[in-house]
Amino acid sequence: MNYVKSQRVSRTFLGILLIGVAIPVFAHHSVTSEFDPGKEFSVTGVLTRVAWTNPHVYWWVDVKDDSGNIVTYSFEGNPPGMYHRAGLHKDDWKVGEVVTVTAVAAKDGSKHLGFGKIIKYSDGHSIVLKVGGE
């Protein structure tokens, strides 16, 4: 293979590699694409599970409705790396404890889904979470 052809193949490969690396950056969405920051809600229940995974942290809270039935709410948060840099770790979420979660509602009308803003524990301490551009 001559030098010019080798350079062309190398540049093509490099271009494909760069596009492949850049796609995840463009795929990430803003909070406002799925959630409405103007519509907040709060629920109180038992924190049952935390998924400390990329690209977002997720947690679930079991809440008793007006009829006494258990309804599971799910909440999305920011990436674990963002929380870690802010000094927040998975162990800071206390599974099994009663919490009040303040969140912004899903735009699609999912009643049991939100982007978490504040987790308040019964002992009074809170974890305040940044939402999007706040």
Q: Mark 75-101 as b/e (b = at least 16 C-beta within 10 Å).
A: bbbbebeebeeeebeeeebbeeeebbb
How far is 81 from 77, CA to CA, in rounded Å? 11
Paired strand residues for 114: 75, 105
Assess whether pLDDT exceeds 80 at residue 25. no
- CA dihedral in degrees (54, 43, 94, 104; nearest 10)? 30
Task: Check: CB of residue 64 under 8 Å from CB of residue 73.
Answer: no
Q: pLDDT tens across 38-53, in order?
A: 899 999 999 999 999 9
pTM, whole model, 2 decimals?
Answer: 0.73
pLDDT at 43: 96
Q: pLDDT tens across 53-97, in order?
A: 988 999 999 999 999 999 999 999 989 998 888 888 888 888 999
| CATH 3.40.50.920 for domain 31-128 | no
In the chain, what are the domain boundaries?
31-128
